[in-house]
Amino acid sequence: MSIQHQRGGAASLRRGRLTIYVGAAPGVGKTYKMLQDANDWKRKGTDVVIGLIETHGRGETARQVADLESVSLRTVTFEGHEYQELNVDGILQRSPHTVLIDELAHTNVPGCERTKRYEDIDYILDHGINVVTAVNIQHLESLHDKVEHITGVKVRERIPDWFMDMADEVKLIDVTPETLQLRLTNGKIYARDKIQRALENFFQPGNLSALRELALLEVADDVDQRMDKERKQTNVESSLYGDPNRDRILVCVNYRPHSEKLIRRGWRIADRLDAELYVLVVLPSAKLSDTEKKELRRVQKLSEEFDGIFITTTEKEGGIGATIVAVAQQLDISQIVIGQPVMSDRWLDRMKRTPVDYVLENAEFVDLHVVAHTRT
- Most distant CA pair in the chain: distance in Å? 76
Residues forming beta bridges with residue 320, ordered by sequence position: none
pLDDT digits (tens, 9 = 90+) for 176-227: 999 999 989 988 888 888 889 888 888 999 999 999 998 888 887 776 666 6
Q: Check residue 62 and give left, alpha or beta (phi > 0: left; psi -120 to 50: alpha).
A: alpha
Q: Does 134 or 360 have the greater pLDDT score?
A: 134
* Cβ atoms of 150 and 161 closer than 8 Å: no
Contact predicate 360/329, CB 8 Å: no
The SS3 of residue 207 is helix
Q: How high is the pLDDT of residue 2?
A: 57
DSSP conformational letter for 186:
T
Comparing 92-96, 122-126, 287-291, which segment has the lowest mean pLDDT? Answer: 287-291
CA dihedral 36, 37, 39, 42 (to 10 degrees): 180
Band (pLDDT 50/70/90 cuts) for residue 233 is low
Calculate the alpha carbon distances from 2 to 29, 58, 82, 219, 311 in Å: 47, 52, 45, 36, 5
Tens of pLDDT along 9-42? 444 447 999 999 999 999 999 999 999 999 999 9
Q: Would you state the pLDDT for residue 118? A: 97
pLDDT class for 229, splitting at 50, 70, 90? low
pLDDT the model gives residue 240: 46
Q: How many CB atoms are closer than 10 A to CB 23?
A: 25
Residue 262 has pLDDT above 60, yes or no: yes
Mean pLDDT estimate for the chain: 86
d(CA 31, CA 35): 6
d(CA 320, CA 354): 9
What single-letter amino acid sits at 40?
A: D
CA angle in degrees (0–180, nearest 5) for 183-142-112: 80
Long-range contacts from 1-5, C-beta under 8 angstroms, 24+ separation:
1/311, 1/312, 1/313, 1/327, 1/330, 2/311, 2/312, 2/313, 3/240, 3/309, 3/310, 3/311, 4/300, 4/304, 4/309, 4/310, 4/311, 5/240, 5/304, 5/308, 5/309, 5/310
- pTM for the structure as a whole: 0.67
Report all structural domains of the chain as residue ranges with CATH numbers, in order of start. Answer: 18-229 (3.40.50.300), 239-371 (3.40.50.620)
The Cα 310–Cα 6 span in angstroms is: 9
Reported as a single tens digit per residue, the pLDDT across 122-179 is 999 999 999 999 999 999 998 988 898 888 888 999 999 889 989 999 999 999 999 9
Three-class secondary structure of residue 313 per DSSP: strand
Band (237; pLDDT cuts 50, 70, 90): very low
List strands edge to edge, sheet with 18-23. Answer: 69-70, 48-52, 98-101, 130-136, 18-23, 169-172
